[in-house]
Structure 1
Amino acid sequence: MEQICAVDSALVPVAVVARDPMLEAGAASALRACPELVVVEGEAAESARVAVVLVDAVDREVLDLARARRGAVVLVVAEVTAVQALHAVLAGVRGLLRRRDADARRLTRAVMAAAVGDCTVPPDLLDRLQGAVGEPVSPALAGGGLSERERAVLALVAEGRETGEIAKELCYSPRTVTTVVHDITRRFRLRNRAHAVAYALRAGLL
């Protein structure tokens, strides 16, 4: 658990949002087990670095909430289709878990990944995302505007890998990985890593 939770020396404030008090309490309890996280409530929840949102389905209200949040959003949903997953990522959601898969380890991992800008999506949805209907693909990206290094980094981001893991896998420094992802999002005017992954999937580059 220590390796999963090590983002930096500061505690990561995380809020839990759910209509069902039992689900909210369960998620909060799981997150408190990580020593690098602090679950916040009330006014502090509005500015939390990460918000875990537990819902039954991905609808317009959920997408609007994701866009409005200042911090990262990890969405825990009862069921989700590839189309819904794509819309969630494009709305800025940085973590997506099915409720049945959201045990303490996976939920904590998704929150810590979101805290550093990484994106976590269920592996079985990644292949299907290419065929999902979403936003038009950036012309530059559709034209093959990614280098081999950028494509390799982005592919691992799509798998939900953390910056340190990507650096180790590709024999780069963590700083290089961060710079590569930043360059991609800036060059194609994308909102964040999650948005970059969604566009690359739509363009068939991953």
Structure 2
Amino acid sequence: MGEPVSVNVMALDPVLEAGTTSALNSCPDVAVAMPRDAAAVTVVIVDDVGGEVLDLVRATRAAAHRPEVVLVATDVAPAEALHAIAAGARGLLRRREAGAARLTRAVLAAASGDCTVSPDMLDGLLEHGTSARSSARTTNLSERERAVLTMVADGHETDEIAKALCYSARTVTSVVHDITHRYRLRNRAHAVAYALRAGLL
């Protein structure tokens, strides 16, 4: 048997954080680190999966040691689950499902590069993903935004996109900025990756 996987816990509720830490401490396959210590996996416990939580997942993944993230929420709608996975979460559990054994399995899976999602949540993701690919094309991105982002994905520069689509360079820059701001993305590359993973392109 190898070394235990290092994990830390982040939660707004200190009682919840302490309880989860205690539960994980009882599992020999994981070693709980202090919240600010580098760990292979970070368990993030929240109520709702909104923009701030997605920002937290991205920020955690962007840390120097690049930890995997297991997100535990009170409830997760299919659209929220898609956004959480696109933001970088490797595991997704509802709080009522996150007992010590189940959470440990999710942590170990995340550390090995696998993604863990509850079976019924996965069904919802698949159903939502199918409809999202069609509905996202009409609701989440406009035709102009999709055209610009598709050309960005193909590696074209702003001037090339402007010329091909008959827009000004300023319009192209504005479109990309609007997309990155709306979805809280860091840059053009992140916007393309997010759009592909979330089924927007």
Distance 1:121 1:42, change over 3 A: closer
Q: What corresponds to 1:125 in structure 2?
A: 121
Q: Rg bigger for which structure?
A: 2
Q: Which of these residues, 98, 102, 105, is aligned with residue 101 of structure 2?
A: 105
Q: What corresponds to 1:68 in structure 2?
A: 59
Q: What corresponds to 1:50 in structure 2?
A: 41
Provide TM-score, normalisation by structure 1: 0.60
Provide TM-score, normalisation by structure 2: 0.61
1:13 deviation in Å? 1.1
AA aligned to 2:86 is: L
1:89-100 equivalences in 2 (<5 Å): 89-100=85-96
Q: What corresponds to 2:181 in structure 1?
A: none
After superposition, give the CA deviation of every residue in 1:101-133 in whole Å (9 maximum; x if it has no partner): 111111111011011011011111222213243
CA distance in 1, matches of 2:36, 2:42: 13
Q: What corresponds to 1:10 in structure 2?
A: 3
1:137-156 equivalences in 2 (<5 Å): none
- Give structure 2 stretches of 5+ with no counterpart: 61-65, 138-149, 151-191
- Give structure 1 stretches of 5+ with no counterpart: 1-5, 140-188
Say whether the 8 Å CA contact 2:49–2:80 is kept in structure 1. yes
AA aligned to 1:121 is: V
1:190 deviation in Å? 6.9
Q: What corresponds to 2:73 in structure 1?
A: 77
CA distance in 1, matches of 2:116, 2:46: 17
RMSD: 2.9
Distance 1:117 1:190, change over 3 A: farther
Q: Does 1:23 align with 2:16?
A: yes
CA distance in 1, matches of 2:16, 2:97: 14
Task: Give the fraction of aligned pairs with identical amino acids, expressed as a percent.
Answer: 51
Distance 1:81 1:112, change over 3 A: same
Say whether the 8 Å CA contact 2:48–2:75 is kept in structure 1. yes
CA distance in 1, matches of 2:33, 2:7: 6
Distance 1:34 1:190, change over 3 A: farther
Say whether the 8 Å CA contact 2:8–2:35 is kept in structure 1. no
Number of residue pairs matched by the alignment: 139
